[in-house]
Amino acid sequence: MATERSPVPLRLNPVDRHGKEINPAVLAAAEEVIPSALEYGLKMLRDPALVANVLEEVAAAVSRQMSSKDPPGEPLPIQNLAGYVFRGFVRRVNRLKSKQPPLVSSDGDGQPQTVRWADPTRALETKILVGECLAQLDFVTRDMFWRRAQGYSWRDIGKIHGLSGHAAEVRFRSALGRAQVRLRRGRRSLPSATRADQTEELKPAMQNDGEK
Amino acid sequence: MARNRRREFSEDEFFGFAKSYLSEAFPNPQRIGCPADSDLMRMGEHPVEARDAATSEHLTHCSPCFKRYMEILAALKQQSSRTP
């Protein structure tokens, strides 16, 4: 496969990734602030998909707020809807950023972002978990993994596989849970000295990975 | 979800990390065993185990194909959001 990769422009869905609907007026306001949101969001979060998700979530929250407070037919109490959405976006991005694990390196060349945790043990454990998951998931749950990684809602994922959103989520989570249990059992079955040696052996390789 | 003993990460963090890791851990510069773009597209549109199992398996150890598949899924997501 050697095709040219085409850049995908940022577009918002009328439903956020949790399946919450976005009011058309709020969606239009959110689309209006996409350039500013991208500029700020990419600086803070470095992932356009994450920026889009956050903006959609904020738009959905604003939509809910409007529908719960405004009687139908009344004018919107928010004077500057786009500004309101953008301020909500900034607050949520800042909150996410403050919760984000520390980054030790990143690249900003438009390629998918490099996110590494500063704690090498944590990074190693997560890599092993990801590998373990992918090795153990069946075709359907692995497809769910790909789509979830791309920010699909469980409802959308369920639709693709002929399931309800909830059933899809339950199926995926139980498969992931099984992978975690196997991973823990694998750890326990190793004598502690061997585990430590193994971790030491893996550390340099992981650090080299980090230098790539 | 995706918590370990210390409940260290959320679902977003787990998938964010997985996406970054899979995007760069398996460079495959020779593009060995890569499926055609049309295969990825077909799997993205309508995944069928009998037909796509090998392609899905390939994504677990090929970063270029993984990244391309993520792009395809993103484009399909946008497309589906535009159609009622």
pLDDT (mean) for A54-64: 89
A86: region left, alpha or beta (phi > 0 left; psi from -120 to 50 alpha): alpha
Q: How confident is the model at residue B48 (pLDDT cuts 50, 70, 90)?
A: very high
The domain tally of chain A equals: 2
From A99, A129, A147, the end of a domain falls on A99
CATH number at residue A154: 1.10.10
pLDDT of residue A102: 47
pLDDT (mean) for B69-76: 92
pLDDT above 90 covers a percentage of chain A that reads: 14
Report whether pLDDT(A78) > 80: no
The domain tally of chain B equals: 1
A128 with A174, same domain? yes
Residue A115 lies inside a defined structural domain of this protein:
no
Residue B4 lies inside a defined structural domain of this protein:
no
Q: Give the closest-approach CA distance of B18 to chain A in angstroms.
A: 6
Long-range contacts of residues B5-12, Cβ cutoff 8 Å, at least 24 apart: B5/A184, B8/A122, B9/A101, B9/A126, B11/A148, B12/A50
pLDDT of residue A105: 37
Dihedrals phi, psi of A103, to nearest 5 degrees: -95, 140
CB < 8 Å to B32, chain A: none
| Interface contact B81-A11, CB threshold 8 A | yes
Report whether pLDDT(A144) > 50: yes
| Interface contact B23-A111, CB threshold 8 A | yes
pLDDT of residue A71: 59
CB < 8 Å to A180, chain B: 2, 4
Residue A147 lies inside a defined structural domain of this protein:
yes
Q: Is the confidence metric ipTM above 0.85 for this complex? A: yes
pLDDT, averaged across chain B: 84
Q: How confident is the model at residue A74 (pLDDT cuts 50, 70, 90)?
A: low
Residue of higher predicted confidence among A174 and A6: A174
pLDDT of residue A147: 94
Residue of higher predicted confidence among B40 and A49: B40
Residue A84 lies inside a defined structural domain of this protein:
yes
From A44, A65, A99, the end of a domain falls on A99
CB < 8 Å to A148, chain B: 11, 15
A53 with A128, same domain? no
pLDDT of residue A9: 58
Q: Give the closest-approach CA distance of A174 to chain B in angstroms.
A: 10
How far apart CA A166 and CA A170 sit, in angstroms, is 6
Q: How confident is the model at residue A139 (pLDDT cuts 50, 70, 90)?
A: very high
Residue of higher predicted confidence among A86 and A206: A86
Residue A86: domain span: 24-99
Of A16-25, A125-134, A191-200, the least confident = A191-200
CB < 8 Å to B60, chain A: 134-135, 142
CB B48 within 8 A of CB A122: no
pLDDT of residue B83: 63
User: Residue B53 in 3-state DSSP?
Assistant: helix
| Interface contact B77-A150, CB threshold 8 A | yes
Q: How distant, in Å, are the alpha carbons of A20, A190, B46, B68 from that of A159?
A: 16, 42, 11, 23
pLDDT of residue A8: 43
Report whether pLDDT(B74) > 70: yes
Residue B6 lies inside a defined structural domain of this protein:
no
Q: Which of B11, B24, B68 best probes binding to A when mutated, by most A CB atoms within 10 angstroms?
A: B24
pLDDT of residue A127: 80
pTM listed for this prediction: 0.52
pLDDT, averaged across chain A: 72
Residue A201 lies inside a defined structural domain of this protein:
yes
pLDDT digits (tens, 9 = 90+) for A5-53: 434 456 788 887 777 888 888 998 998 888 888 888 877 777 777 788 8
